[in-house]
Structure 1
Amino acid sequence: MRPPVRLALAAAAASALQIPLQPPNGANVQPVLVESDALADRVGAGNLQKRAEALYEIAELSVDEYGHPTRVIGSRGHLGTINYIKSTLDGLGGYYNLSDQIFSAVSGSVYQAKLVIGDVVPSFTTMGLTPATENKEPVHGDLVLVGDLGCKSSDYPDTAMGSILLIRRGECSFGQKSELAGQAGAVAAVVVNSEQDEIHGTLGAPSPNHVATFGLSGATGGGFIEKLESGEVLDAIAYMDADVDIIETMNIVAQTTHGDPDNCVMLGGHSDSVTEGPGINDDGSGSLSVLEVAVQLSHYKVNNCVRFGWWSGEEEGLLGSNYYVASLSEEENAKLRLFMDYDMMASPNFAYQVYDATDAANPVGSEKLRDLYTAWYEDHGLNYSLIPFDGRSDYDGFIRHGIPAGGIATGAEGVKTEAEEDMFGGRAGEWYDPCYHQLCDDLHNVNLTAWEVNTKASTFALSPFALSTTRSTANAGWV
């Protein structure tokens, strides 16, 4: 088993870099209150591009260990990312109080994997935090179709013992499906997407019952399902060389040294990538937008404290943000009035997406934030679409703990529609981010126009909350 990379390597990773873009001025609080348009005008594509170039150079610190650039937690690339963020904030001359929040997290690496079904070698993905096949050797067995969606033990037939199971996506988590497969005696599991395209995900918290778990697109896996349902017998071979380790990682939190400390607004993005690539869009774009806003805010003063967070372990299951919110005391939770989430701000085949965070389904105040984003797009003659606020990113822990939240994005592995092509340009029928969770999520995988627009939109949403000291006495929402 490969030894986990510890936080002690952060200094070594940092020494290999020349940290660019030290923030301008910022040594003292400026006498001018923040104003939306002025703050937005300070955001430019040039700085964002330079930060992306620095981040890719940081991701390359992991090449010796992983064979390619990555910023997955525990890697030198992620430790370098943490140092880059902290060094940039330290250069602001005391505008922010910085704190580190160290916690234990699970990190998984897949070094090699193969899957053969019948006489076909299908294109497949591997689930995050998947264990290896037994003894890291190939396993053989019949391919057995699991009943229904594989979310209860009764879905697993007696023939699951010693077999490789084919499981439909839906209803329950990938981790639950893998665990039930292991409990049924399977030697590996293959999850088939409910849509035609590739499937990506994680098994989440490790279980001794998890088995090596692969993923197939709906287009590929659907054909195997049809064959098994028609009575055809298929055998399969699966191989996975993988490790799952416990490592130490950290969140970074920065809070203005002035402004009402009992009335804080927060922005955040995740600092890590998946193992498979450098993560320049996911979520380099979001975390760098947050960093650039923090830098430019240092030219102004605020009435409410502004807090920024860079979460670790998002790709392993929103670990860092959930840890942060769960660690807040009731008193500290009450001080945090709003959270804005920025995850994937620069997808190449982008759509301007606003989370449809309503007060009816979420903490009161979420809807006002949603409406600020939509108003900004409308004021600038830009189309936008509302997307489900379904807990897929780091805002989830905040709304579960009663903190209003919202955010914007540009799309992941979803497929752009023809209507969206008319609204935003790009290519219908293709993913918003064709390099989502892949090695090609590099410097060529960002749309600078979308990135700049969305970073400006984030400043527009921040400014009124940084200024307003009025809050509702009836609920946690802003008024």
Structure 2
Amino acid sequence: MTLSLPPRARLGRSALALAGSVALVASGSFAANAAPTYDASNNNSSKKLRSAVTVEKVVGHLTALDAIAEANGNTRSSGTEGYSASVDYIVGKLTAAGYKPTVQPFLFPFFAELSPAVLEQSTPDGVTYGPDDVATMTYSGAGEASGAIEAIDTTGTASATGTSGCEAADFAGFTPGSIALIQRGGCTFAVKAANAEEAGATAVIIFNTGVGANTGAVAGTLGAPDLVGIPVVGASFAAGTDLIGDDVTGRVVVDTISENRETYNVIAETSGGNPDNVVMIGAHLDSVLAGPGINDNGTGSAGILAVAEGMSKVKTANKVRFAWWGAEEEGLLGSEHYVADLVAKDQLDSVGLYLNFDMIGSPNFGRFVYDGDNSAFPVGPGAAEGPAGSGQIEQDFHDYFASVGLASGETAFSGRSDYGPFIAEGIPAGGLFTGAEGIKTAEQAALFGGVAGAPYDACYHAACDDTDNLSLTALDQMSDAVAHLTVTYAMSTLDVNGAGASVKGKGPKDRFEGNPLGGGTESGGGLHPEHDHDHDLADR
């Protein structure tokens, strides 16, 4: 497909009308009209499907998702009305296209900081600590506490080996009703805070070690809602030591919501095709709380929705299953739940491969393919091993881009997106990514265009990630690639996993051996790099 637009053209939030494709209902959710948006039903080849999956259709879905966010506090985060309305929209469009979508509910730990934490010393000095010195612990209880501040098993000296607050015995002599001051180290934040709460503390301050780079405010997590019910904040080493002493009093205020909430995955599949060799196509539907998430990851969600609409009547050799994941931004929770459910039902072997599309419209984009053979990003802390067959998926994407005269680089299986639970189970995987907070190099600017020295997406995880934050060029090129590989594997996955037969008429072709100039990025997906599953229980 082609589009007569200048490179990196952008949309305004109100630039495109919804044109009757969605209707706002009283509940705040959106319902699709009855007509599907594909132009032809027999899109059984790459050329036909790419012609049907126009960038205008993808943008139409993005405009609808942006309107949903605007109507719901500028967010589509899991656990919010904006996310529920996004689910309604996807389900409505799939139903209109002839699918029978299912909505898979699951519980997840929801946390929102409604206002910044407050930490004050009342006596002997009146001090209000700034944002560099205090941070709300994730999953902290809400509330306000004032009174004496009592240091627990610490003198405030810099130490990487202390165990302040790790044992109940540390609180012997602690005065109930006081605020506990604890130094980081030796055990999890949750253990420290729970011991303090059990001893009668009204709030907890956990300050940094003062060793090496560990001097600023501790931005930690308690692991889950309801483990600790009192306010818990992290503090800098300087603030913590400033609060040690006799007759020190202070005030702690935390304003949060911390609870388990229900959210959803949306699943839809073709009516035909081999159910024992399912081709899975996935993207996460949720945004972060801070913004509408139109690039991250409205683009992936809209792209695969347009592909699903375009091939809803195609007779496929393999069953194709589309998935829109919930709570990705909370730690890949939707895809983890789905894969765990398949394992529990002994159905995982039916999945032949998984393709992931997380951010495919970044304004300063790179054209990145997941490094399935680990040739650019060897297995290590920042790159997981691609299961057998993943290298072939990577090669097929590179071949496609080469066939249309486009260079492509590589991105690591860094664990930052929903391919993670699939590759952990040995399922061949691949996908596309146009870049997040990483910085475009001069080499990449020469390959892909755009601005060297600037982020791929300056609005990553921010309130400005709306329809102004898109490259239509990237969205056009990448949605074509999504369509190409989806219909290709719908017909045969023989080269990837040995299943099925070769496609008639498919012969030898020139191979494109990756990008000879490099041009890769290690970030590999849309989940923020600071979000670490081990972080939940680790004393960071």
TM-score by length of 1: 0.76
* Alpha-carbon distance between aligned partners in 1 of 2:313 and 2:426, rounded to the nearest angstrom: 32
Q: Which residue of 2 aligns with 1:7?
A: none
Which amino acid is 2:297 matched to? D
Distance 1:16 1:396, change over 3 A: closer
Q: Is 1:98 the counterpart of 2:101 in the alignment? A: yes
Once the two structures are superposed, the pairs formed by residues 119-158 of structure 1 within 5 Å of their partners are 121-122=130-131, 129-132=138-141, 135=144, 154=161
Q: Which residue of 1 aligns with 2:114?
A: 111
Q: Equivalent of 1:37, from 36, 47, 68?
A: 47
Which amino acid is 2:139 matched to? T
- Contact 1:255/1:306, CA 8 A, preserved across alignment: yes
Which amino acid is 1:70 matched to? T
Q: Equivalent of 2:408, from 384, 395, 400?
A: 384
* Alpha-carbon distance between aligned partners in 2 of 1:21 and 1:41, rounded to the nearest angstrom: 22
Which structure's CA Rg is the greater one?
A: 2
- Contact 2:492/2:499, CA 8 A, preserved across alignment: no
Q: Note the C-alpha offset of 1:464.
A: 2.0
Which amino acid is 1:458 matched to? V
Q: Which residue of 2 aligns with 1:433?
A: 457
Distance 1:304 1:179, change over 3 A: same
Q: Which residue of 1 aligns with 2:177?
A: none
Q: Equivalent of 1:51, from 61, 64, 78?
A: 61
Q: Note the C-alpha offset of 1:439.
A: 1.1
- Contact 1:322/1:397, CA 8 A, preserved across alignment: yes
Which amino acid is 1:109 matched to? A
Q: Which residue of 2 aligns with 1:8?
A: none
Q: Note the C-alpha offset of 1:456.
A: 1.0
Q: Note the C-alpha offset of 1:146.
A: 7.2
Q: Equivalent of 2:323, from 301, 309, 315?
A: 309
Q: Equivalent of 2:351, from 317, 336, 352?
A: 336
Deviations 1:87-141 (A, max 9, x none): 0011013xx3321211112211111004679887457997894324654789989
Q: Secondary structure at the match of 2:488?
A: helix
Q: Note the C-alpha offset of 1:386.
A: 1.6
Q: Which residue of 1 aligns with 2:482?
A: 458
Once the two structures are superposed, the pairs formed by residues 266-415 of structure 1 within 5 Å of their partners are 266-329=280-343, 331-358=346-373, 361-415=385-439
Return 450-459 or 319-328, whichever deviates more: 450-459
Q: Is 1:208 the counterpart of 2:227 in the alignment? A: yes
Q: Which residue of 1 aligns with 2:190?
A: 179
Return 234-243 or 437-446, whichever deviates more: 234-243
Which amino acid is 2:373 matched to? T
Q: Note the C-alpha offset of 1:213.
A: 5.9
Q: Which residue of 1 aligns with 2:527?
A: none
Return 383-392 or 16-25, whichever deviates more: 16-25
Q: Is 1:88 the counterpart of 2:79 in the alignment? A: no
Deviations 1:22-74 (A, max 9, x none): 42468xx95x4721222122222222222111111111232xxxxx3111122
Greater share of helix: 1
* Alpha-carbon distance between aligned partners in 2 of 1:144 and 1:417, rounded to the nearest angstrom: 43
Q: Secondary structure at the match of 1:357?
A: coil
Distance 1:466 1:127, change over 3 A: farther
- Contact 1:129/1:316, CA 8 A, preserved across alignment: no
Question: What do you get for the CA RMSD once the two structures are aligned?
Answer: 4.2
Distance 1:122 1:187, change over 3 A: closer
Q: Equivalent of 1:23, from 27, 36, 41?
A: 36
Which amino acid is 2:53 matched to? V
Q: Note the C-alpha offset of 1:457.
A: 1.1
Q: Equivalent of 1:73, from 70, 73, 78?
A: 78
Q: Note the C-alpha offset of 1:362.
A: 3.0
- Contact 1:107/1:129, CA 8 A, preserved across alignment: no
Which amino acid is 2:227 matched to? P
Q: Secondary structure at the match of 1:328?
A: helix
Q: Secondary structure at the match of 2:337?
A: helix
Distance 1:240 1:452, change over 3 A: farther
Q: Note the C-alpha offset of 1:145.
A: 8.7
Deviations 1:322-355 (A, max 9, x none): 1111111464211110011111111122212222
Which amino acid is 1:41 matched to? S
Q: Which residue of 2 aligns with 1:170?
A: none
Give the number of aligned pairs. Answer: 432
Distance 1:417 1:425, change over 3 A: same
Distance 1:246 1:403, change over 3 A: same
Which amino acid is 1:410 matched to? T
- Contact 1:286/1:344, CA 8 A, preserved across alignment: yes
Q: Which residue of 1 aligns with 2:174?
A: none
Q: Secondary structure at the match of 2:101?
A: strand
Distance 1:124 1:429, change over 3 A: farther
Deviations 1:280-315 (A, max 9, x none): 111111111111110111253211110001111111
Q: Note the C-alpha offset of 1:252.
A: 0.9
Q: Secondary structure at the match of 2:100?
A: strand
Distance 1:42 1:246, change over 3 A: same
* Alpha-carbon distance between aligned partners in 1 of 2:137 and 2:36, rounded to the nearest angstrom: 36
Which amino acid is 2:399 matched to? A
TM-score by length of 2: 0.68
* Alpha-carbon distance between aligned partners in 2 of 1:291 and 1:69, rounded to the nearest angstrom: 22
* Alpha-carbon distance between aligned partners in 1 of 2:406 and 2:135, rounded to the nearest angstrom: 37
Q: Secondary structure at the match of 1:440?
A: coil
Distance 1:189 1:410, change over 3 A: farther
Q: Equivalent of 2:261, from 230, 247, 250?
A: 247
* Alpha-carbon distance between aligned partners in 1 of 2:481 and 2:45, rounded to the nearest angstrom: 13
* Alpha-carbon distance between aligned partners in 2 of 1:440 and 1:382, rounded to the nearest angstrom: 29
Q: Which runs of 5+ in 1 are unaligned?
A: 1-10, 63-67, 149-153, 168-175, 216-223
Deviations 1:247-275 (A, max 9, x none): 12211110101111222101011111111
Q: Note the C-alpha offset of 1:441.
A: 1.1
- Contact 2:103/2:267, CA 8 A, preserved across alignment: yes
Deviations 1:381-439 (A, max 9, x none): 33332222021111111112222112111122222233323333333333222112111
Q: Note the C-alpha offset of 1:455.
A: 1.2
Once the two structures are superposed, the pairs formed by residues 4-15 of structure 1 within 5 Å of their partners are none
Which amino acid is 2:36 matched to? P
- Contact 2:182/2:207, CA 8 A, preserved across alignment: yes
